[in-house]
Chain A
Amino acid sequence: MELASRTSNPAFPTMLSGDIIREADEAHAYTTGRKTVGSPFVDNPRMTCRDVEVYYGEKCAINKISIDVDCNEVLAMIGPSGCGKSTFLRCLNRMNDTVPSCRVIGEIRLDNIDIYHPSIDVVPLRARVGMVFQKPNPFPKSIYDNVAYGPRIHGLTKNKAELDEIVETSIMKAGLWNEVKDRLQEPGTGLSGGQQQRLCIARAIAVSPEVILMDEPCSALDPIATAKVEELIAELRTQFSIVIVTHAMQQAARVSQRTAYFHLGDLIEVGPTDKIFTNPKHRLTEDYITGRFG
């Protein structure tokens, strides 16, 4: 697609340099400004976001965020409620298009293709960037039909046998196969909450996306189901890039390689997860992860 014309965007090359990181290093104690500190950029990114702004009507929900998503990493996004992390997540597969008053400015690239370019069709994009929601939302169909939904609408299979195989491998990857293999024709809504959420993950990976977005996928689950989903996330990382929004900082620490801290529409700090949790550079990050507010 017409990409060459887009590289003339002046923000793109300059932001790639390391001046943000240097600035953070020079600060002795904590940085307190609203500029991103840490290391938001990586060498071979799967997705790149530059100066992303989101407005709901006149209200600014996201203020000039720039961050990369690496291949085969789990990027956790944490922050207090209303800080814009879910809004930002929904920008990555253009789910915000369904909100009439929502406007997205800036540049988001998937494999170096601008996903907000007018020539981009949102339908194949969403097949490449899958999403798992906060509340498990299996369709009121059988378990099989839930997983087969994506392959069917995208015409990924030629016959029933291929479809069967995709369904089986997807459910296996989601770690649900042993629990549901004997009742694939039963309704997906009859499963327990944790099984439903893993079914939704199976449904998302059935269309072989490159990136999976997860919007607080465990907030409606009990601890055991949460542990299973977290285990699953760790396995999925070998094949997909995963961006996960979470309120549980323990969870971010357990599953992610990098963590981004959002605060009131600003991206405050990005860094390797162990650094963020042991040695945050920014005062706001420190306050949040030590529980001083949030």
Chain B
Amino acid sequence: MYSYLLPCILLFSTGAYYWGASRANSIAEASGGMRSLHSLPSHYGMLTALSSALPALLLFIIWQMVEDTIVTSLVAKSLPAELLQLSANELTLVLNEVKNVAFGGFGAHNTAPAIQTAADLYLSTRSWMRNLLGMGTIFCCLVPAVIAYRSINKDLRARNLVEGTVKIFLIACSTVAILTTLGIVLSVVFEALIFFQSVNFSDFLLGLQWSPQTAMRVDQAGSSGAFGAVPVFVGTLLIALIAMAVAIPIGLLAAIYLSEYASSRMRTWAKPMLEILAGIPTVVYGFFAALTVAPLIRDFGQSLGLQVSSESALAAGLVMGIMIIPFVSSLSDDVIHAVPQSMRDGSLALGATRFETIMLVIIPAALPGIVGSILLAVSRAIGETMIVVMAAGLSANLTFNPLEAVTTVTVQIVTLLVGDQEFDSPKTLAAFALGLLLFVFTLFLNFIALRVVRRYREQYE
């Protein structure tokens, strides 16, 4: 019964659609043609269908959310008196056991008779409630549909009602996206606030040492830990800087070639090839960096007499730069391509060369889009994890030397949250603080970039 409710609602509303549409059609015939109706028959059908489906769906969703709570509280009331005297936490445990028994999970063999009774009660309660829900849903399907059907007349503004409903649906969808973002931010903020109760905020923000090795359990011996975020952020920025130093020139020049110089055949061929770079999984880039590029750099550096560690910021940054080339090139190419031909003509007709035209007219006009593409690449570089985990190392050195091993924010978050952890130790909570700081940092970058773009924008329309 229960699992058939959704198809049932669908069936009823489909039926309601044709029912309402046919009534609208017959009204139209009776009152002298389609033009006498306020809306199209399909609008009347849609209105009937919506009034059939929406209340039923709403009831169904609400029930989904509250079912467990209601049934559990009913079962809890009927438990024997000695169980009811337990503390809240223990009572929850008992109720969980009841549910386990009811669903035939583990521990179903030798259960206390009281639990067994409660489990049976749980199942029977849920069963009759679901029957009730089924009837309620069908009632909600039929009654509003009938009301809508009976209210159809040639002056009913069905189109406006249907389109209003669609608008509300669209608003709801965008709200979901916004609320999700808000939820993520808030969850990170709250965990970070707990972290800052045990670690001073200024120590975290300005501390020059990062070694989050605190004792995991009370009986373990461990250092007190140092949570200075500076080395981690310096590592992140160093690698992102190297990556951008690779990606921006190559990506931008490739974009200029593709959009201004390449023949259209070359462009259709070369652009997807470049975009394949973005399709390679980052883990593949990671071992490419760790196994191919890093040893190459080390050997080359040693042949020059330089001290190069086998995991270096340079290796990770170079490979990351290659990874984000398509972000810069593909988007910039689109933006440059979108600059109107009249700009090029105007410049060429003044006797400018192609290169002068590109440098003095096209690039300034395309600047906002180019900055946007670079910004996307930067946030990609800062947020990238796999390559740096494999190729950059884990030791939080405070250094600007690209030949040494550094670590990044993302790497530290990964290492802090992998494996056994307890969520009230600063070691684990530090991950949230790092995440929050990273979030604030990229937000700040976005803000700066937007200001820059607005200041130097050359609008051509």
B348 contacts A98, C-beta separation under 8 Å: yes
* Residues of the B chain whose Cβ atoms lie less than 8 Å from the Cβ of A258: none
A interface list, Cβ under 8 A from B: 93, 95, 98, 100, 123-127, 130-131, 133, 135, 137-141, 149-150, 153-154, 187, 189, 200, 203-204, 207
B350 contacts A207, C-beta separation under 8 Å: yes
Tell me, yes or no, whether B458 is within 8 Å of chain A by CB: yes
CB of A150 to closest CB in B, whole Å: 4
Find the B residue at minimum CB distance from A126: B351
Tell me, yes or no, whether B64 is within 8 Å of chain A by CB: no
Find the B residue at minimum CB distance from A146: B346
CB of B408 to closest CB in A, whole Å: 38
Further pairs besides A124-B351, A126-B348: 18, Cβ < 8 Å = A98-B344, A98-B348, A123-B352, A133-B345, A133-B346, A137-B340, A137-B342, A138-B346, A139-B346, A139-B460, A140-B458, A140-B459, A149-B350, A153-B350, A153-B356, A187-B458, A200-B346, A204-B349
Complex-state Cα separation, A138 to B356, whole angstroms: 16
* Residues of the A chain whose Cβ atoms lie less than 8 Å from the Cβ of B458: 139-141, 187
* Residues of the B chain whose Cβ atoms lie less than 8 Å from the Cβ of A203: 346, 350
B345 contacts A204, C-beta separation under 8 Å: no
Q: Which of A124, A135, A153 is the most central at the interface, judged by chain B CB atoms within 10 Å of its CB?
A: A153
Find the A residue at minimum CB distance from B344: A98
CB of B319 to closest CB in A, whole Å: 37
> Which residues of B252-280 are within 8 A (CB) of A?
263
CB of B373 to closest CB in A, whole Å: 19
B460 contacts A153, C-beta separation under 8 Å: no
A125 contacts B351, C-beta separation under 8 Å: yes
| A95-B352 CB under 8 A given contacts A187-B458, A187-B459 | no
A140 contacts B350, C-beta separation under 8 Å: no
CB of B7 to closest CB in A, whole Å: 57
A141 contacts B350, C-beta separation under 8 Å: no
* Residues of the B chain whose Cβ atoms lie less than 8 Å from the Cβ of A125: 351
Tally of contact residues, B, Cβ under 8 A: 23
Tell me, yes or no, whether B237 is within 8 Å of chain A by CB: no
B364 contacts A131, C-beta separation under 8 Å: no
CB of B345 to closest CB in A, whole Å: 6
Find the B residue at minimum CB distance from A206: B350
A154 contacts B351, C-beta separation under 8 Å: yes
* Residues of the B chain whose Cβ atoms lie less than 8 Å from the Cβ of A130: 349-350
* Residues of the A chain whose Cβ atoms lie less than 8 Å from the Cβ of B365: 139-140
- Interface residue from A100, A139, A153 paired with B351 (Cβ < 8 Å): A153
Tell me, yes or no, whether B215 is within 8 Å of chain A by CB: no
B347 contacts A93, C-beta separation under 8 Å: no
Complex-state Cα separation, A207 to B350, whole angstroms: 8
Q: Please, could you name 18 A-B residue pairs with CB atoms under 8 Å apart, sorted by A?
A: A95-B345, A95-B348, A95-B349, A98-B345, A123-B351, A125-B351, A126-B348, A137-B342, A137-B343, A139-B343, A139-B346, A139-B365, A139-B458, A140-B460, A149-B352, A150-B352, A153-B353, A189-B460
* Residues of the B chain whose Cβ atoms lie less than 8 Å from the Cβ of A187: 458-459
> Which residues of B318-368 are within 8 A (CB) of A?
340, 342-353, 356, 360-361, 364-365
Complex-state Cα separation, A149 to B347, whole angstroms: 8
* Residues of the A chain whose Cβ atoms lie less than 8 Å from the Cβ of B360: 139, 149, 153
* Residues of the B chain whose Cβ atoms lie less than 8 Å from the Cβ of A126: 348-351
Complex-state Cα separation, A37 to B287, whole angstroms: 77
A204 contacts B350, C-beta separation under 8 Å: yes
Find the B residue at minimum CB distance from A152: B360
* Residues of the A chain whose Cβ atoms lie less than 8 Å from the Cβ of B351: 123-127, 150, 153-154, 207
A139 contacts B361, C-beta separation under 8 Å: yes
CB of B25 to closest CB in A, whole Å: 48
CB of B431 to closest CB in A, whole Å: 45
Complex-state Cα separation, A141 to B364, whole angstroms: 9
Complex-state Cα separation, A127 to B346, whole angstroms: 12
CB of B435 to closest CB in A, whole Å: 40
Find the A residue at minimum CB distance from B339: A140
Complex-state Cα separation, A100 to B459, whole angstroms: 28
Complex-state Cα separation, A207 to B347, whole angstroms: 12
B459 contacts A150, C-beta separation under 8 Å: no
B347 contacts A139, C-beta separation under 8 Å: yes
Find the B residue at minimum CB distance from A131: B349
Complex-state Cα separation, A2 to B340, whole angstroms: 38
Complex-state Cα separation, A100 to B364, whole angstroms: 25
Complex-state Cα separation, A139 to B342, whole angstroms: 9
> Which residues of B421-461 are within 8 A (CB) of A?
458-461
* Residues of the A chain whose Cβ atoms lie less than 8 Å from the Cβ of B352: 123, 149-150, 153
* Residues of the A chain whose Cβ atoms lie less than 8 Å from the Cβ of B347: 139, 149
Complex-state Cα separation, A207 to B361, whole angstroms: 17
CB of A92 to closest CB in B, whole Å: 11
- Interface residue from A124, A127, A135 paired with B342 (Cβ < 8 Å): A135
Which 5 A-B pairs rank lowest in CB-CB distance, beginning with the nearest? A140-B458, A127-B351, A131-B349, A137-B342, A126-B351
| A140-B348 CB under 8 A given contacts A135-B342, A187-B458, A189-B460 | no
- Interface residue from A137, A153, A189 paired with B346 (Cβ < 8 Å): A137
Complex-state Cα separation, A138 to B350, whole angstroms: 12
* Residues of the B chain whose Cβ atoms lie less than 8 Å from the Cβ of A204: 349-350
* Residues of the B chain whose Cβ atoms lie less than 8 Å from the Cβ of A131: 345, 349
Complex-state Cα separation, A187 to B455, whole angstroms: 13
Q: Which of A127, A139, A189, A203 is the most central at the interface, judged by chain B CB atoms within 10 Å of its CB?
A: A139
B 274-306 binary contact with A (CB < 8 Å = 1; else 0) = 000000000000000000000000000000000
Q: Which of A93, A140, A187 is the most central at the interface, judged by chain B CB atoms within 10 Å of its CB?
A: A140
CB of B328 to closest CB in A, whole Å: 22
Complex-state Cα separation, A138 to B458, whole angstroms: 11
* Residues of the A chain whose Cβ atoms lie less than 8 Å from the Cβ of B461: 189
Complex-state Cα separation, A88 to B342, whole angstroms: 18
Complex-state Cα separation, A103 to B348, whole angstroms: 18
Q: Which of B345, B346, B350, B352 is the most central at the interface, judged by chain A CB atoms within 10 Å of its CB?
A: B350
CB of B344 to closest CB in A, whole Å: 7
* Residues of the B chain whose Cβ atoms lie less than 8 Å from the Cβ of A127: 350-351
* Residues of the B chain whose Cβ atoms lie less than 8 Å from the Cβ of A150: 350-352
Complex-state Cα separation, A133 to B341, whole angstroms: 12
* Residues of the A chain whose Cβ atoms lie less than 8 Å from the Cβ of B343: 137, 139-140
* Residues of the B chain whose Cβ atoms lie less than 8 Å from the Cβ of A135: 342
Find the A residue at minimum CB distance from B357: A153
Find the A residue at minimum CB distance from B349: A131
Find the B residue at minimum CB distance from A136: B342
Complex-state Cα separation, A135 to B346, whole angstroms: 10
Complex-state Cα separation, A262 to B346, whole angstroms: 25
CB of A277 to closest CB in B, whole Å: 30
CB of A246 to closest CB in B, whole Å: 18
* Residues of the B chain whose Cβ atoms lie less than 8 Å from the Cβ of A154: 351
